[in-house]
Amino acid sequence: MKITIVDYKSGNISSVINSFKEVAKDKVNLEVTSDLNKIKSSDKIVLPGQGSFKSCVDALNKINGLADTLNDFTINKKKPLLGICVGLQMFADTGYEEIETKGLGWISGKVSKINNQNGKYKLPHIGWNQISIVKGSRIFKDIENNAHMYFVHSFEFIPKDKNVILATTDYSSNIVCAVEKENIFGTQFHPEKSDKIGLQIIDNFIKL
């Protein structure tokens, strides 16, 4: 099996690469690339993202043909894709970080700033927080409800269709922290920074 971590220069993704290498061992052919042909021939894709919604979308769009290739992979060929942090947020139609920016439009919705209730909650939301699993999923196999995951974000994805929500976390309000739509999976938290539980999620994705 061939899994590609898409490297479109969106911040430091070394921890994503290292954790996938640790879980995959020699069982999986792991590529880290933005080469369109290598992405097309993959069985699964990981779309990381660090920084702002706009900076990640801009970086993705700078690589000619990458957005179309990802679109073909996920929407037409229906192969599994895992988005992490801003990688998940980019599934949305629109993001409102910096300026209004068009997303990939795979899961209808928007990305808005977390309501910090006039400073009552610190932004960015950084650190460990419990997740409430609202729906069973193959990527949550052997993950207990209320497990702690590691977060770093100031913006949240608000999907139109609540049926795509797998888990939420309580920070100022119920924030969507994991989604699934057919072959598309996403986590707002960082599985690669969430210790053994995070590695379990990575293992579950690899074994899909």
Of residues 56, 85, 125, 156, which has the active-site annotation? Answer: 85
Of residues 125, 153, 180, 190, which has the active-site annotation? Answer: 190
Cα atoms found within 13 Å of the Cα of residue 15, Cβ hemisphere only: 14
Query: Which residues of 74-124 form beta strands (DSSP E)?
Result: 81-84, 94-95, 101-102, 109-113
Known catalytic residue at 31:
no
Q: Can you tell me the distance from the alpha carbon of 192 to that of 100, in angstroms, rounded to the nearest whole number?
A: 29
Known catalytic residue at 153:
no
Known catalytic residue at 125:
no
Please count the residues of the chain: 208
In degrees, rounded to 5, the angle at the alpha carbon of residue 73 between the alpha carbons of residues 195 and 41 is: 85
Strand 2-6 and strand 29-33: the pairing is parallel
- Angstrom CA distances, 5 to 32, 64, 81, stand at 5, 17, 10
Catalytic residues: 85, 190, 192
